[in-house]
Chain A
């Protein structure tokens, strides 16, 4: 049955409002359950299949050897291609697959082409996160009691590698890097951790 001529404008207006509200709701839900919106939790496809397992777990390379700035500044930074060549100038890899991946790195160096990795962990642009300050805090022996990101008390003062796992999970045992399972990196998580550890929670501590 066709709606009466009088009801039609009302139905159109209702439809428009419903669509807008639905859209807003969907955006809010996505924002709440994902961090960042769209695609969190997956291991993004990377230009070179870099296995942290081989480098960290098998060969005991320290995090800060490659992420050189992690104990010095805001960004952890990804290593330069030249850094990879420190070893892979001579090390070819144990399998055909790994040799292919290592060759990609050598080609990048030879052709002076940077490697564009896909970022795995990301905070919003209005947040300022200083890796150095967090590592300095957690590795400080003079602070007697420290709490992890989910409120758990840490048994002892962690080293740098263990500190990384607090937020990033056990990256050293992952072939593909993906965010720590079930770990929220939203503002509430940051605030809880700051409160548990009795460190400032002023807005300007984190917000630009």
Chain B
């Protein structure tokens, strides 16, 4: 056949089709391979998932979680449906536990400082001999003048940290930027309890909350959200009524039937005003001994007529008559039983915060809600005799003392775990400065991530993250009965990481230092196992087992142990003259600093919905989770009343300079009709200077730490930071950025101008 151009192309085409077809039907190399992995723990079975129960450590409420593990890698975190506090639900923060595990900025091995302090320059070293030897030498030489600063610790880790500190002659303090010491003190003073109480929202008819953003960030939001859901939409019950009295329009305020924007620091006066109305009109619950409770003081100094103006309650916000509004509120609260009063957040964070919270919690006595269904549920103590059920957390007074000790050389060893005090304390305390100038100070950080305090450390010994380590927790607040959660390692650290468990390091050091008499355990797992055996010996609670071994296995399988029959006190007798005593402590909130000039504003900071105080700001999921109200992500914003913004000629995205007597920060303006005109609200959480890019790669225009400008005012009686006790002045910088938010351009106030029927279209039944 003659090879023409046409023939050549035809045969070439056929050849190509044949080649492709034959290749397509072949079997690729490795297609039929089946691999024997080198190691085979149970969870390495290909294609098969395992779910392990454990605890979330991203926030202090320590929710029960289950983790899906496939081929040795954690894939998903969900709520543990058996766990009594969160009952299968979790906060968005818990899910980011996976990002801690796989974070690219985890510290992979021990490191020693190689540059000047604060330069954040480190060189990797080995655990043995360098890391452990350096730690041992430091503990031997400086243990007696050491301070161990950790996250708030409960359960066996709390016991271990305090015993270890005491064994080496040092001090242990828990650290919280926004501490709950005032709340604890109020609970102790009013109810005589050491543990935080639970609130039975599910069965309540009326919730009166002062400053506590309990649906978003306050104490145990997942638990409260669950109860709130039932409160609103539970079957076979009337929809409950909910008032939020708060100087900021929080997510909780947004869910309330009525939000009352009170002047910061006047919550206690209003609470006593409500008490006065209840007593004067005889609306107290049957059986309440009013004479004993008031001690002869009928609270006339707190009549609504005397309080509403001080508290900033105007006719405009109270349907025309503030006094009558307060009286009606008192009547509704007292007659809609069961009712519960809750106080926290900014209500406890002014100079008179303890008075405020005591006054609020005393209301529950008047309406008979203490220890009752639908009211305040008191929690029992720890099931173990020596294991703490409550965290010991330092106050601003403590941190001021420790800063002075560092400055004077009295403290020359800081051991840090799960705490970043340089970022989390007011800049005006000058802790950073004290550390920089203390020549003889040694800092050992056990953080798996670099943060502002770890960046100043001499030695970093990276801890395992919670999904890789053992632990336990006594829930605080508990569900009203005794319970303990257990945390187990569900995966091993990735191959390129070399962390060691913090409690195991402490126990190893205890042995090296000859402290076995105080800390006799070889590792933390053994310590927990001993705790499990003690629970088994109690022979009660949720775990049934015939042997201690079986009990341990079932305990880990279920994620914890609880005993619904071991409840807290059902009734607490109030101390005689309680209301009189509280009224005697009444004082006006102190706003020292720049004073009360008319061109200044109240600064009401608030915990960020996902970042909280900022310790987890290196986690991108938490950074990119929009704030529930403003929908802002990644930035520090300031909530400004829209009319105030107009007056100051501010528009969304403008950079605002916010200045107190201490310093200034800059933040992105977010005008909103829901902000009180005399208040500037800024979230905690941003403004880290060292560590992961996710926390630090924005300029100070967009990411700032509101702690830097707070006055160091203390709460009277507790010494805690009065973080809602600062006044600020604001000024335009002339700069502007694009605000990073998900919300559209149609704002609530604009929608409000449109008649509802133009927005909500109804379909006639015949057209449906």
A interface with B by C-beta (< 8 Å): 12, 16, 19, 23, 27, 36-38, 44, 68-69, 72-75, 77-84, 108-109, 112-119, 122
Pick 21 A–B contacts, CB within 8 A, sort by A.
A19-B18, A23-B21, A37-B27, A38-B26, A38-B27, A69-B48, A72-B48, A73-B48, A74-B48, A77-B46, A78-B34, A79-B40, A80-B39, A80-B44, A81-B38, A81-B39, A108-B38, A113-B38, A117-B35, A118-B34, A119-B34
State in angstroms the CA–CA spacing of A37 and B25 once bound together.
9
State in angstroms the CA–CA spacing of A19 and B34 once bound together.
36
Minimum CB–CB distance for A13 against chain B, Å: 10
Supposing A68-B40, A79-B40 touch, asked if A114 and B32 sit within 8 A by C-beta, the answer is no
Q: Is the CB of A80 within 8 A of B37?
A: yes
Q: Is the CB of A19 within 8 A of B14?
A: yes
State in angstroms the CA–CA spacing of A54 and B537 once bound together.
49
Q: Which A residues are in CB contact (< 8 Å) with B39?
A: 80-82
Q: Which A residues are in CB contact (< 8 Å) with B30?
A: 116
Query: Interface readout for B532-554 with A: 1 if CB under 8 Å, 0 if not?
Result: 00000000000000000000000
Minimum CB–CB distance for B690 against chain A, Å: 35
Q: Which B residues are in CB contact (< 8 Å) with A112?
A: 38
Q: Would you call B36 an interface residue if the criterion is a C-beta within 8 Å of the partner chain's C-beta atoms?
A: yes
Q: Would you call B45 an interface residue if the criterion is a C-beta within 8 Å of the partner chain's C-beta atoms?
A: yes
**Given A82-B38, A115-B36, A117-B36, 12 other A-B residues pairs in contact with their CB atoms under 8 A:** A19-B18, A37-B27, A38-B26, A44-B32, A68-B45, A69-B48, A73-B48, A78-B34, A83-B40, A113-B38, A114-B37, A116-B30
B interface with A by C-beta (< 8 Å): 10, 14, 18, 21, 25-27, 30, 32-40, 44-48
Q: Is the CB of B14 within 8 A of A78?
A: no
B25 and chain A: residue at smallest CB distance: A27
Q: Which A residues are in CB contact (< 8 Å) with B27?
A: 36-38
Q: Choose one: B14, B40, B47; the contact of A75 (CB below 8 Å).
A: B47
Q: Which B residues are in CB contact (< 8 Å) with A74?
A: 47-48
Which has the most chain A C-beta neighbours within 10 Å: B33, B37, B48? B37
B contact patch SS: loop
Q: Which B residues are in CB contact (< 8 Å) with A12?
A: 10
Q: Is the CB of B36 within 8 A of A78?
A: yes
Q: Which A residues are in CB contact (< 8 Å) with B35?
A: 78, 114-117
State in angstroms the CA–CA spacing of A36 and B28 once bound together.
13
State in angstroms the CA–CA spacing of A79 and B30 once bound together.
18
A3 and chain B: residue at smallest CB distance: B1
State in angstroms the CA–CA spacing of A109 and B33 once bound together.
19
Q: Which B residues are in CB contact (< 8 Å) with A82?
A: 38-40
Q: Is the CB of A73 within 8 A of B45?
A: yes
Q: Is the CB of A118 within 8 A of B33?
A: yes
Q: Which B residues are in CB contact (< 8 Å) with A27?
A: 25
Q: Which A residues are in CB contact (< 8 Å) with B40?
A: 68, 79-80, 82-83
Q: Which B residues are in CB contact (< 8 Å) with A19?
A: 14, 18
State in angstroms the CA–CA spacing of A27 and B21 once bound together.
10
State in angstroms the CA–CA spacing of A73 and B45 once bound together.
9
State in angstroms the CA–CA spacing of A12 and B14 once bound together.
11
Minimum CB–CB distance for A54 against chain B, Å: 18
Minimum CB–CB distance for B705 against chain A, Å: 45
Q: Which B residues are in CB contact (< 8 Å) with A109?
A: 38
Q: Is the CB of B33 within 8 A of A119?
A: yes
Minimum CB–CB distance for B36 against chain A, Å: 4
State in angstroms the CA–CA spacing of A73 and B278 once bound together.
66
Q: Which B residues are in CB contact (< 8 Å) with A114?
A: 35-38
Q: Which A residues are in CB contact (< 8 Å) with B32?
A: 44, 118-119, 122
A30 and chain B: residue at smallest CB distance: B25
A112 and chain B: residue at smallest CB distance: B38
Which has the most chain B C-beta neighbours within 10 Å: A36, A68, A72, A78? A78
Q: Which B residues are in CB contact (< 8 Å) with A108?
A: 36, 38
Q: Which A residues are in CB contact (< 8 Å) with B46?
A: 75, 77
Which has the most chain B C-beta neighbours within 10 Å: A72, A75, A77, A119? A77
Q: Is the CB of A80 within 8 A of B36?
A: yes
Q: Is the CB of B37 within 8 A of A81?
A: yes
Minimum CB–CB distance for A154 against chain B, Å: 29
State in angstroms the CA–CA spacing of A155 and B10 once bound together.
63
Q: Which A residues are in CB contact (< 8 Å) with B34?
A: 78, 116-119
Q: Choose one: A16, A23, A80; the contact of B38 (CB below 8 Å).
A: A80
State in angstroms the CA–CA spacing of A122 and B161 once bound together.
56
Q: Is the CB of B36 within 8 A of A81?
A: yes
Q: Choose one: B25, B33, B38, B44; the contact of A117 (CB below 8 Å).
A: B33
- What are the 9 tightest A-B residue pairs by CB atom distance, in nearest-first order? A80-B40, A119-B32, A115-B36, A116-B33, A81-B38, A119-B34, A82-B39, A114-B35, A80-B37
Minimum CB–CB distance for A76 against chain B, Å: 10
Q: Is the CB of A16 within 8 A of B45?
A: no
B32 and chain A: residue at smallest CB distance: A119
Q: Which B residues are in CB contact (< 8 Å) with A78?
A: 34-36
Minimum CB–CB distance for A107 against chain B, Å: 11
Q: Which A residues are in CB contact (< 8 Å) with B18?
A: 19, 23
A16 and chain B: residue at smallest CB distance: B14
Which has the most chain B C-beta neighbours within 10 Å: A16, A80, A112, A115? A80
State in angstroms the CA–CA spacing of A80 and B40 once bound together.
5
A80 and chain B: residue at smallest CB distance: B40
A84 and chain B: residue at smallest CB distance: B36
A116 and chain B: residue at smallest CB distance: B33
Minimum CB–CB distance for A137 against chain B, Å: 20
Minimum CB–CB distance for B128 against chain A, Å: 22
State in angstroms the CA–CA spacing of A68 and B40 once bound together.
10
Minimum CB–CB distance for A112 against chain B, Å: 5
Which has the most chain A C-beta neighbours within 10 Å: B21, B38, B44, B45? B38
Q: Which B residues are in CB contact (< 8 Å) with A72?
A: 45, 48
State in angstroms the CA–CA spacing of A112 and B495 once bound together.
12
Q: Which B residues are in CB contact (< 8 Å) with A83?
A: 40
A39 and chain B: residue at smallest CB distance: B27
Q: Which B residues are in CB contact (< 8 Å) with A118?
A: 32-34
Q: Which A residues are in CB contact (< 8 Å) with B25?
A: 27, 37
B31 and chain A: residue at smallest CB distance: A119
State in angstroms the CA–CA spacing of A23 and B22 once bound together.
9
B35 and chain A: residue at smallest CB distance: A114
State in angstroms the CA–CA spacing of A122 and B27 once bound together.
13
State in angstroms the CA–CA spacing of A117 and B27 once bound together.
16
Q: Which B residues are in CB contact (< 8 Å) with A44?
A: 32
Supposing A16-B14, A23-B21 touch, asked if A77 and B45 sit within 8 A by C-beta, the answer is yes
B48 and chain A: residue at smallest CB distance: A73
State in angstroms the CA–CA spacing of A27 and B23 once bound together.
12
State in angstroms the CA–CA spacing of A78 and B33 once bound together.
11
B495 and chain A: residue at smallest CB distance: A112
B7 and chain A: residue at smallest CB distance: A12
Minimum CB–CB distance for A149 against chain B, Å: 22
Q: Is the CB of A69 within 8 A of B45?
A: yes
Q: Which B residues are in CB contact (< 8 Å) with A23?
A: 18, 21
State in angstroms the CA–CA spacing of A80 and B43 once bound together.
12
State in angstroms the CA–CA spacing of A103 and B14 once bound together.
51
Q: Which B residues are in CB contact (< 8 Å) with A36?
A: 27
State in angstroms the CA–CA spacing of A51 and B46 once bound together.
24
Minimum CB–CB distance for A78 against chain B, Å: 5
A83 and chain B: residue at smallest CB distance: B40
Minimum CB–CB distance for B81 against chain A, Å: 23
